[in-house]
């Protein structure tokens, strides 16, 4: 069993056996039927993967829609958009529809709209190129003025920090993703995949190699209607001990961040276990 799946299962077990819960309090999210969606959770979770050594954070214990994850990151950081019609028409992604703000066909002043408003992506690329060893390469989507400007779901994965590191003759781009909240069974690996893809694109644009990806999550949780799926994942882990490590590759000669498309990525050795698991979303 590869290291990624072991870490995934260890975290699931930790949540089930040692996690706290919010069952006795009021919670913001609800299921589609209006029932409050409670969770069991752990805090201050940290994971680390060396992309340059072939480690890649995707589980094969269930199918992960990795292409959709990468497309979403293109919508946020290339298109720099909050437009739900664009997300559907260009990328065929509909999962954000539940968070449309007041019939606006947008998710409010959030994510891509924030990136565009403060020109965050161009600033990051230029700063890494011109001062690679700087310690201020940060994108923060947590902008209080934006939250006041419109309604919308406050960003979950809200900050990325970037560092250039030299080893021998090779310069690597390391990145840390900071996330306030993570629906672990549904989105845990989607978030990792898409930010590693972002790391690869930024590294290529800046003439660097993708290095270490680290992921800090402050609240890592499993919803109360997802525990049967959690048990199925534990069973799959026990019954499939020899699964290989998949790997994402940026397979193109392009070197401009804004030119990359989903077709420039390919996944090697990814053979997820079937059937797919289904989850009710806490909205």
**Strand 170-183 versus strand 157-167 pairing type:** antiparallel
Q: What residues contact 21, with CB distance under 8 A and at least 6 apart? A: 38, 39, 40, 41
Tokens of 220: 């890592």
Dihedral Cα 101, 106, 108, 111, nearest 10 deg: 140
* 156 given a catalytic annotation: yes
Q: How far is CA 173 from CA 119, 170, 253, in A?
A: 21, 10, 18
CA 178 to chain centre: 10
**Active-site option among 7, 13, 101, 156:** 156
Q: How far apart are CA 127 and CA 121, in angstroms?
A: 10
- CA torsion sign for 184, 185, 189, 190 is negative
Q: Which residues are catalytic?
A: 156
């Amino acid at each position: 069993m590869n290291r990624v799946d072991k870490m995934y299962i260890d975290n699931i077990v930790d949540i089930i056996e040692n996690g706290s819960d919010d069952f006795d309090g009021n919670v913001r999210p609800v299921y589609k039927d209006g029932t409050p969606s409670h969770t069991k959770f752990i805090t201050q979770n940290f994971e680390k993967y060396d992309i340059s050594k072939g480690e890649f954070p995707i589980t094969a214990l269930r199918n992960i829609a990795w292409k959709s994850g990468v497309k979403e990151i293109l919508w946020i950081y290339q298109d720099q958009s909050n437009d739900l019609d664009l997300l559907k028409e260009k990328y065929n992604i509909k999962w954000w529809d539940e968070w449309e703000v007041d019939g606006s066909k947008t998710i409010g002043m959030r994510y891509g709209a924030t990136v565009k408003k403060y020109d965050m992506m161009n600033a990051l690329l230029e700063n890494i190129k011109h001062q690679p060893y700087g310690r201020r390469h940060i994108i923060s989507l947590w902008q209080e003025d934006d939250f006041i400007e419109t309604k919308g779901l406050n960003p979950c994965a809200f900050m990325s920090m970037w560092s250039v590191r030299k080893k021998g003759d090779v310069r690597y781009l390391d990145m840390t993703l900071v996330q306030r909240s993570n629906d672990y069974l549904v989105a845990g690996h989607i978030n990792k995949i898409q930010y590693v893809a972002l790391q690869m694109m930024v590294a290529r644009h800046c003439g660097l190699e993708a290095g270490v990806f680290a992921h800090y999550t402050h609240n890592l949780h499993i919803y109360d209607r997802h525990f049967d799926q959690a048990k199925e994942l534990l069973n799959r882990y026990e019954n499939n001990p020899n699964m290989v490590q998949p790997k994402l590759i940026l397979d193109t000669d392009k070197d401009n961040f804004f030119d990359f498309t989903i077709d420039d990525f390919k996944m090697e050795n990814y053979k997820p276990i079937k059937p797919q698991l289904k989850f009710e979303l806490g909205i």
